[in-house]
Amino acid sequence: MNKRNTRAFAFGVLISVCTIGAFYFSMDREKSADLNIKNAQSLLEDNGYVVLAKDTYDQMNKTITNQTKQAEPKEQEKIPKPPETEEISLTYQLEIVSGMFSHDIAVVLAEKKIIDDANQFETYLEENGYSKRIQLGTFELNAKMSYKEIAKIITKS
């Protein structure tokens, strides 16, 4: 950079600082008076907020927790326990056709509620080498099977 460019840059910075300073010092400080506690409370209350002191808030919080602790045993006694039922085992006949990938199989099994998470099952197949050994055919699977059991069935290994 030569002297001329440096001087032009410095002059631009000086003009910018002067403009910002003039704006700052000409602002009406009366309108932006410091916000004291009373003004803040009235502003919040006008906008629909409830303002509480910390002591009042803590006292209300303790009262609520005490009431819920006292009410819990009564509520548990009133609620009848549902009768225990046997888990229904979901079974599904998976048909693997040519062109299906491990992702497609995982999505179908997740939709039929045989597995919980399609991405997790797909990752399991890929990490353990099952994704490349999937066989064509129809396989009967149920929701109680582990990922390993399902993988062994669909790979016929």
Sorted by where each begins, the domain ranges of the chain are 37-78, 91-155
* Rg of the chain, C-alpha, whole Å: 35
CA 126 to chain centre: 27
Q: What is the DSSP string of 26-86?
A: HS-TTTT----HHHHHHHHHHTT-----HHHHHHHHHHHHHHHHHHHHHHHHHSPPPPP-P
pLDDT category at 4 given cuts 50, 70, 90 is very high
Distance CA 107, CA 112 (A): 9
pLDDT at 12 exceeding the cut of 90: yes
pLDDT tens profile 75-98? 455 566 665 555 566 788 989 998
Return the residue matching tokens 């149920």: 142
How many residues belong to the chain? 157
Distance CA 22, CA 33 (A): 19
pLDDT tens profile 129-140? 998 899 999 999
Q: Which CATH class is domain 91-155?
A: alpha beta
pLDDT at 124 exceeding the cut of 90: yes
Which residue has better confidence, 157 or 5? 5
Distance CA 88, CA 17 (A): 76
Return the residue matching tokens 């906008």: 47
CA 139 to chain centre: 36
Distance CA 155, CA 157 (A): 5
pLDDT tens profile 13-70? 999 999 999 988 887 665 555 567 778 888 888 888 888 888 988 898 888 888 887 7
